[in-house]
């Protein structure tokens, strides 16, 4: 094991002459064999063959294995790609924020005093914008409640919340549960002292309002800006009225797709954001927080007609982009992730390509590199983004998988790249819609593309590694573990699930040099968990059965070994060993 942080040739393993290609099947997990598993029901001959004839095993992709507070917490694309690229587990945003609140360090910090002090001294409002749920992927409602209670205890008299409704990391029509809990806290705080005014001011569904990412659709941020800042948008007397009205007008709409709304009292918006106010964006995850932060801070700004930018004190729960230092002020320091695999390979001059469509482009670049935006060395790196469509994912579940594959084949034919990482977004983005037939098409699309890619990697003399960052499409219905059955609606139909799963993911290696080894015993089709891994050996390596509880963080050192480099002691142990 290499104790240094540098590339050293492996003493016993020799790489294939062609590229090592890592494919991340975003949101494709190994779930129960039931009617809600789109991965199981999809026609996937390529994936079936990979797990039937190649060395593979299951990886943990949730909970403490990716830095979340507990094993009851889902994994997500952010922490999954962090673990894949960093080679070890870092405490992630949810855990860091929970600890900072519980230990009081958040409230003792300079940023909290900076944003709360003037609100107390001058009686100006303090606004909170963010995702309102307990999904613990982008935010947690208890974090918001802690901030509100402490602000009131510190003497802030005007508190306004601009909730973004989830229905993606939590049940798809659960918004009223969280709104009612928030309103109860606001009433409690308003009754706690004279002159207090605590209100919900504006909001909307997360996929329609404010929470765009990777500049896929700035109109989403514009809608939020108009509602939160200007107080422009359809008026309602309460958030409940807004939610119930939209549901009545658009039967079947789920929380993440609800349009923007603005709460009015006396014919006027109750809480637009004005000069001198304080604003906290309370999400801890960065990808869907960067653009709204830019709208509050960036000059010049040309992404949409912003109008006069109010002179506010703006802070994020965390700093969402360490390279651009966005936002400039933040309440909790993000995990300091350094010495990632991407940086190591760049330092060693290894040519590497990262490729994905817009929806996951930042995952194979920014998150893979430890929350770092730019390249480490442009001379040996290329990042390719295939623009995503701006249509609902269930309407085009194939998304841009074919175009991603076309570009991948073009790049492989060039012979330039030694390491290639590709993300197929379909399983996650379509899985989040909660529409089972669309998710099946999404998985089948990826399987078709994987077949094309597989042939190209073989032709190039390379090695193919297939894994995922977390599950999603493998559970499209809400499962009630106590009853051992699906939760059902009034008509007896299973309720759709739009959140990630707690299921493991596949890790499979296809090395053409292994084709002469004896075939393993047949395995069940892809998508059924609980199987023993295949025992087929590669030419000079085999899966290492001594690795305890293998997870995503073990992948980086595995890739190093397959590239012919000695694994680093800094990273979690590799999943392969010399024969």
Cβ neighbours for 433, distance < 8 A, ≥ 6 positions apart: 392, 393, 394, 439, 498
Task: Describe the crossing of helices 175-190 and 239-249 by its angle, rounded to 10 degrees.
Answer: 160
Q: What's the residue count for the chain?
A: 579
User: Is 333 considered catalytic here?
Assistant: no
CB 27 within 8 A of CB 434: no
d(CA 519, CA 13): 22
Cα 287 to chain centroid, rounded:
8
CA distance 487 to 480: 6
User: From CA 184, how far away is CA 337, in angstroms rounded?
Assistant: 38
CA 510 to chain centre: 27
Distance in angstroms (rounded) separating the CA atoms of residues 406 and 48: 23
Residue bearing tokens 């190994």: 30
Which one is catalytic: 6, 70, 77, 414?
77
Per DSSP, what are the bridge partners of residue 413?
Answer: none
| Alpha-carbon gap, residue 78 to 64, rounded angstroms | 14
Alpha carbon 509 to its chain centroid, in Å, reads 24
Q: What is the DSSP string of 182-242?
A: HHHHHHHHHTTSTT-EEEE-EEEETTTSS---TTS-HHHHHHHHIIIII--S-EESSHHHH
Residue 68: phi, psi to the nearest 5? -80, 165
Q: Which residues contact 118 (CB under 8 A, 6 or more apart)?
A: 124, 276, 278, 313
Tokens 């076309």, located at residue: 406
Structure tokens at 478: 């809400």
What sign results for the dihedral spanned by CA atoms 135, 288, 177, 92? positive
Query: How big, in percent rounded to 5, are the helix, strand and coil portions of the chain?
Result: 35, 20, 45
Task: Spell out the residues 6+ positions from residue 102 whose beta carbon is closer than 8 angstroms to its own.
Answer: none
Peptide bond into 327 cis (omega under 30): yes
| 277 three-state secondary structure | coil
CA distance 36 to 310: 48
* Contact of 469 with 61, CB cutoff 8 Å: yes
* Token pair listed for 89: 């587990």
Catalytic residues: 77
């Amino acid at each position: 094991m290499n104790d240094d942080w540098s590339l050293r040739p492996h003493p016993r393993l020799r790489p294939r002459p062609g590229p090592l290609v890592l494919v991340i099947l975003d949101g494709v997990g190994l779930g129960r064999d039931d009617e809600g598993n789109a991965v199981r029901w999809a026609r996937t001959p390529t994936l079936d063959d990979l797990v039937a004839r190649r060395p593979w095993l299951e990886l943990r992709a949730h909970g403490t294995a990716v830095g979340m507070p507990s094993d009851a917490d889902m994994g997500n694309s952010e922490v999954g790609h962090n673990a894949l690229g960093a080679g070890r587990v870092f405490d992630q945003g949810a855990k860091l924020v929970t600890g900072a609140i519980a230990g009081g360090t958040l409230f003792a910090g300079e940023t909290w005093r900076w944003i709360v002090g003037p609100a107390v001294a001058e009686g100006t409002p303090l606004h909170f914008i963010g995702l309102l749920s307990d999904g613990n992927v982008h935010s947690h409602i208890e974090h918001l409640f802690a901030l509100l209670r402490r602000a009131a205890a510190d003497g802030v008299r005007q508190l306004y919340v601009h909730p973004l409704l989830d229905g993606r990391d939590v049940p798809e029509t659960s918004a009223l549960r969280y709104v009612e809990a928030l309103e109860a806290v606001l009433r409690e705080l308003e009754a706690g002292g004279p002159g207090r005014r605590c209100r919900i001011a504006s909001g909307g569904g997360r996929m329609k309002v404010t929470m765009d990412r990777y500049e896929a659709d700035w109109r989403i941020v514009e809608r939020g800006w108009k509602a939160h800042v200007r107080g422009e948008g359809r008026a309602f007397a309460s958030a409940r009225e807004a939610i119930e009205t939209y549901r009545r007008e658009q039967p079947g709409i789920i929380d993440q797709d609800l349009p923007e709304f603005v709460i009015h009292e006396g014919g006027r918006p109750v809480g637009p954001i004005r000069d001198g106010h304080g604003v906290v964006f309370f999400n801890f995850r960065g990808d869907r927080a960067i653009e709204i932060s830019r709208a509050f801070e960036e000059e010049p700004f040309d992404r949409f007609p912003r109008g006069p930018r109010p002179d506010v004190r703006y802070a994020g729960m965390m700093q969402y982009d360490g390279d651009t230092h966005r936002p400039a002020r933040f309440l909790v320091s993000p995990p300091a992730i350094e010495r990632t695999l991407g940086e190591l390979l760049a330092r060693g001059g290894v040519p590497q390509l990262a490729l994905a469509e817009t929806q996951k482009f930042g995952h194979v670049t920014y998150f893979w590199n430890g929350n770092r935006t730019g390249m480490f060395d442009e001379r040996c790196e290329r990042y390719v983004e295939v623009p995503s469509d701006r249509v609902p994912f269930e309407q085009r579940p194939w998304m841009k998988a074919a175009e991603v594959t076309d570009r991948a084949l073009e790049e492989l034919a060039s012979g330039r790249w030694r390491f290639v990482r590709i993300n197929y977004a379909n399983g996650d983005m379509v899985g989040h819609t909660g529409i089972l037939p669309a998710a099946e098409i999404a998985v089948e699309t990826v399987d078709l593309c994987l077949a094309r890619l597989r042939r190209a990697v073989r032709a190039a003399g390379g090695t193919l590694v297939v894994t995922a960052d977390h599950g999603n499409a493998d559970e499209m219905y809400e499962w009630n573990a106590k009853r051992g059955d699906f939760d059902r609606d009034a008509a007896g139909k299973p309720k759709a699930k739009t959140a990630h799963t707690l299921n493991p993911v596949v890790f499979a290696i296809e090395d053409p040099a292994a084709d002469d080894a004896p075939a393993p015993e047949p395995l069940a089709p892809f998508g059924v968990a609980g199987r023993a891994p295949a025992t087929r050996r590669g030419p000079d390596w085999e899966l290492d059965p001594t690795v305890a509880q293998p997870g995503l963080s073990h992948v980086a050192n595995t890739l190093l070994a397959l590239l012919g480099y000695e694994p680093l002691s800094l990273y979690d142990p590799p999943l392969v060993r010399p024969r």
